Amino acid sequence: MPRIVRHVLLILLPVVAAFAILPSVYGNQLLLFNFMIFMTLTQGLNIIYGFTGYLPFGYVGFFGAGAYGFSLMVIHLHAPPLIALPVGGGAAVALAVLLTPLFRLSGAYFSIANLAAALAVFQVVSNPNLESITKGPYGISLSGVFDPTLAYGTALAVLAATIGLVIYLRNSHFGMALKAIREDPISAGMAGINVVRERVIAWLLSALVAGLAGGVFAWYVSVFYPETVFSVEFTIFAIVFALFGGNATVIGPILGVIILYGIYNAVGISTPQYFQLLYGALIMGLVMFLPNGLASLLQRWGIDVP
Amino acid sequence: MSPEPAPLLAVDGLVKRFGGFRALDALSFRVGAGEILGLVGPNGSGKTTCINVVSGLYRPDGGTIHFEGRSIGGLASHRLVHMGINRTFQVPRPFLTLTARENVEIAIAYGASRERPGDAQTLLSSLELAAFADQPAGQLNSAHQKMLDLARALATGPRLLLVDELAAGLNPAELERVAIKLKELARSGIALLVVEHLMGFIDQITDRIIVMNAGKEIFEGRLADASRNPQVVEVFLGDENAA
Amino acid sequence: MFTYSLLAGLLFGLYFSLIGLGLNLVFGVMRIVNLAHGDFLMLGAFLAFWLFTLFALNPVPAIVIAFLVFASVGLPLYYLLVPRLLRAKDPEMLSFILFFGLSQVIEAVTTIAFGTSERSIPGDQLGHAVAAVAGFFAGHKVDTGPVELLGQTFPASWVASGVASGCAVLLVYVYLYRTRLGYLTRAVMDNREEAIATGINVHRVSAVAFGIGLGLAAAAGVFAPFMLGSITPAMGGEVTVTAFAVIVIGSLGNPLGTVLGGIVYGISYMFMQSYYSSWANLLPYVLLIAILLVRPSGLLGRRVRRA
């Protein structure tokens, strides 16, 4: 059977089924929701980092843009959530378009500039001068759209679409082209690949994923401060989960989230400093000894990792 | 008497500067369809820079490049590939994490300039790479990586192929096969510009050569005549590769 | 207000230069992004705080101690982390993540050890030190209060920070341009491969540069309680971004560039605070992005970083 069908059956269906069924078995819907959000974000980061090698240290900026895009549609235009959500995604894509000049920069410069951009967006959004539009530092409180069940279901749909997108990348020429670009942009150019265009497409897709995640997050919680949706913690977690699980694979980010976010919720919340120490040490260990994550370990043992 | 056919590639007064250094200094030459033109010269004379400019890696700072009558100076590499130009790299750069087959497939998928894209398997077989088709390119030895690089370039169906020092590191049997392959390509109508240090290889495959020095062409004609040209001899004095 | 902003900006600018100096040195020599730079500054600040609290040691000797302590930490840390890193396929990005991990570790350990509450050192402590030094040179007792410069008054700590930062910059300049090791360092900064080929012990040069970089961060940390307000274990992140802005504005690899970058940054920041204070927080980020896009080689223009 074609690889892509295999991947869908082995990964996408079980994950979707698990998150669909678990709420009726396990009471903490918020926790499951958070798992889905982080899984979506990590896959989104995977698209840009795993496949093109650029690390957007300000990835949370798209998440926040999505959350605010969604919220502003609801507050000012009284849009129904399912309309406001794509707008949230669109806000993140618009921000990504604005930031495309950053690709002229290499590696670390791109990452720092992207971080600065996200911080700048946060400063703008939370500025008291803009209170009438964005509610400034006082946070957003959405009334009339609170519907955790529907929001949960939508989040699940977003996650499914994202995993589907990564499966497509893993099995398509487009994904192959991205890996080629990551490895050697000059050689990729001589293979006829329009390096700039393909990279930008991956970037916009990655931003869209984060924007939709942000929008559905805003919908689910309905009350949040700017710091919540622009928290650099989202980026950090996504990076660590992706790094741990393994880049440019479908299963890597999923594994990373399940294991590490699982540990976080089991032990980390009560003792945040110890968890910070643990994942700081984990990051260092990974970079030094296993820079391509768990998936690379499996690949070394000859397993074809999806 | 029929008029001379228009050259496939016409380079006129090409200039490329790096800071204050003129790597290409008003270089001019022509290559016709089905012709194999050799490009030789001492180290640093600008041979690879010439290929880099024609293949879109660098923008020219002056002069013109015409391919099939169209000006192409400054266009991005991928556009040139779609127009029918490709090149090999002096140090091969296959995509190490992709298999040999995928290396060729990606070039066919993204770079094919003909309506009927080539077949990866056929191309690999013609370069004796079929056995390695499903191995990651990083596992191939350097000679096979060179052939894979050539396969990648050929996969896009070029009408002009720029070859950058393909012969280095190949054993005599491999050299023979490569020479046959290149002549075969020329017979099918492709124009080749072959940069080389190995004069024996040049002698075997080229009809005509250009000798470069310090970014300019100093001689154009047959290899045999080149070795009698005093300026050429002086430029190569001390170069152990001179035939 | 204009003169005040200008002079305050100059003083803060010199301090920001000091903050950026260590980061610039490390990046210039090893092409490694030390994302934990701000955390070493934080550690220096905490060291100064404890030296003051336990031994009533005023900040001036604390600077020297902080520098020496962390420079000596830097040497083994380099050998532990960097050589392996440089062998990887993409050392710049991986260094980014590696040192980010280190910054999390440092932050976590410090928080566990000291808690999250803010610490501060009374501003007049630095004033006492300045007065003592000034009194020594003037031959009579000098007032410890605010200092007057060109008709504007500033806290003595600001002036002392500015002067000390200026001295540190000069010392680094002397190191790089007047000592043999500094000369080798500049060679490595220029072209690492060539330096290796000419037989320079690149690892040793880099280790020393790394140690100096950390030492400078810690030394800058001593002034942090006065210049940046109270100190907490989590303050490192923002400091690192600021340091990055400074070195990017000023151009990579050139210590004078960092000074220029720091002063430009300091003055811009002060003016923003005075005239558009509600948007002042936006400045470092906008400045950083603008410089990277418009003139990526920085104001002094060397070593463009293009993808």
pLDDT at C143: 55
Residues of chain B found within 8 Å of residue A192, distances taken between Cβ atoms: 78, 81-82, 107, 110-112, 156
Higher per-residue pLDDT: B47 or C31: B47
B178 belongs to a structural domain: yes
Inform me whether the pLDDT recorded for A200 exceeds 80: yes
Band of residue C39 on the pLDDT scale cut at 50, 70, 90: very high
- Percent of chain C predicted with pLDDT > 70: 83
How does pLDDT run across C91-124, given as a tens digit for each residue? 777 888 889 889 989 988 988 888 776 666 665 5
CA dist list (Å): B29 to B12, B90, B187, C221: 7, 21, 21, 63
B62 belongs to a structural domain: no
How does pLDDT run across A101-132, given as a tens digit for each residue? 888 887 778 888 898 899 899 989 988 888 88
What ipTM goes with this model?
0.87
Q: What residue spans define the domains of chain A?
A: 3-230
Q: Which chains touch C (3 or more CB pairs under 8 A)?
A: A
List C residues 183-242 in contact with A (Cβ-Cβ < 8 A).
237, 241
B142 belongs to a structural domain: yes
B39 belongs to a structural domain: yes
Question: Do C252 and C55 form a contact (C-beta atoms < 8 A)?
Answer: no
What domain range is B177 assigned to?
34-56+76-210+219-236
Mean pLDDT value across chain C: 81
Arithmetic mean of pLDDT, C24-32: 86
List A residues 94-153 in contact with C (Cβ-Cβ < 8 A).
101-113, 115-117, 119-120, 123-124, 127-129
User: Which residue in chain C is spatially nearest to A291 when comparing CA positions?
Assistant: C94
CA dist list (Å): B25 to B218, C16, C55: 11, 46, 71
Judged by CB atoms closer than 8 Å, whether chains meet at A280 and C103 is answered as: yes
Band of residue B89 on the pLDDT scale cut at 50, 70, 90: very high
Band of residue C306 on the pLDDT scale cut at 50, 70, 90: very low
Q: Crossing angle, helix C236-250 and helix C37-55, to 10 degrees? A: 120
HSE of C143 in the Cβ direction (CA atoms, 13 Å)? 5
Q: Flag whether residue A191 sits within 8 Å of chain B, measured between CB atoms.
A: yes
pLDDT at C230: 75
pLDDT at A140: 87
Question: Do A287 and C94 form a contact (C-beta atoms < 8 A)?
Answer: yes
Residues of chain C found within 8 Å of residue A57, distances taken between Cβ atoms: 96
Residues of chain B found within 8 Å of residue A177, distances taken between Cβ atoms: 106, 109-110
pLDDT at B1: 47
B95 belongs to a structural domain: yes
Nearest alpha carbon to residue C129 among C153, C156, C150:
C156
Count the domains in chain B: 1
- Total beta-carbon pairs less than 8 A apart between chain A and chain B: 70
Q: Flag whether residue C269 sits within 8 Å of chain A, measured between CB atoms.
A: no
Question: Do A43 and A230 form a contact (C-beta atoms < 8 A)?
Answer: no
What is the C-alpha separation between C132 and B14, in angstroms, rounded? 69
CA dist list (Å): C70 to C14, C42, C55: 21, 12, 19
How does pLDDT run across C48-61, given as a tens digit for each residue? 888 877 877 777 78
Judged by CB atoms closer than 8 Å, whether chains meet at A183 and B97 is answered as: yes
Judged by CB atoms closer than 8 Å, whether chains meet at B89 and A184 is answered as: no
Q: Flag whether residue A262 sits within 8 Å of chain C, measured between CB atoms.
A: no
Which of A195, A284, A292, A296 is most worth mutating to test chain C (most C CB atoms within 10 A of its CB)? A284
CA C143 to chain centre: 29
Inform me whether the pLDDT recorded for C218 exceeds 70: yes
Of A113, A115, A284, the CB nearest to C101: A284
pTM of the model as a whole: 0.85
Residues of chain A found within 8 Å of residue C286, distances taken between Cβ atoms: 116, 120
pLDDT at C307: 34
CA dist list (Å): C237 to A149, C153, C280: 38, 31, 18
How does pLDDT run across B23-82, given as a tens digit for each residue? 999 999 999 999 999 999 888 888 999 999 999 999 999 999 999 989 998 899 999 999
Inform me whether the pLDDT recorded for C258 exceeds 70: yes
Report CA torsion sign: C285, C291, C296, C298: negative
Band of residue B148 on the pLDDT scale cut at 50, 70, 90: very high
Residues of chain A found within 8 Å of residue C288, distances taken between Cβ atoms: 112-113, 116
B144 belongs to a structural domain: yes
Mean pLDDT value across chain B: 87
Question: Do B12 and B24 form a contact (C-beta atoms < 8 A)?
Answer: no
What is the C-alpha separation between A48 and A202, in angstroms, rounded? 6
Residues of chain A found within 8 Å of residue C23, distances taken between Cβ atoms: none
Give long-range contacts, CB 8 A cutoff, 24+ apart: C181-188. C181/C205, C181/C208, C185/C25, C185/C29, C185/C209, C188/C29
Phi, psi for residue C179 in degrees, rounded to 5: -115, 160
What is the C-alpha separation between A160 and A268, in angstroms, rounded? 27
What is the C-alpha separation between C182 and C159, in angstroms, rounded? 29
Give the angle C42-C47-C48 at the CA atoms, nearest 5°: 100
Token readout for B77 is 């590499």
Judged by CB atoms closer than 8 Å, whether chains meet at A189 and B76 is answered as: yes
When mean pLDDT is compared across A183-192, A278-287, A291-300, the lowest value belongs to A291-300
Band of residue C166 on the pLDDT scale cut at 50, 70, 90: confident
pLDDT at B114: 64
Residues of chain A found within 8 Å of residue B98, distances taken between Cβ atoms: 176, 179-180
Judged by CB atoms closer than 8 Å, whether chains meet at A116 and C285 is answered as: yes
pLDDT at B44: 83
Residues of chain A found within 8 Å of residue C237, distances taken between Cβ atoms: 232
Token readout for C305 is 């970083």
| Cβ atoms within 10 Å, residue C212 | 27
User: Which residue in chain A is spatially nearest to C83 when comparing CA positions?
Assistant: A288
Judged by CB atoms closer than 8 Å, whether chains meet at A279 and C104 is answered as: yes
CA dist list (Å): A192 to A127, B86, B99, B148, C94: 46, 9, 18, 16, 29
Length of chain A measured in residues: 306
Of B87, B109, B152, the CB nearest to A173: B109
- Total beta-carbon pairs less than 8 A apart between chain A and chain C: 132
Backbone angle region of B159, left / alpha / beta, with phi > 0 → left and psi within -120 to 50 → alpha: alpha
| CATH number assigned to the domain comprising residue B201 | 3.40.50.300
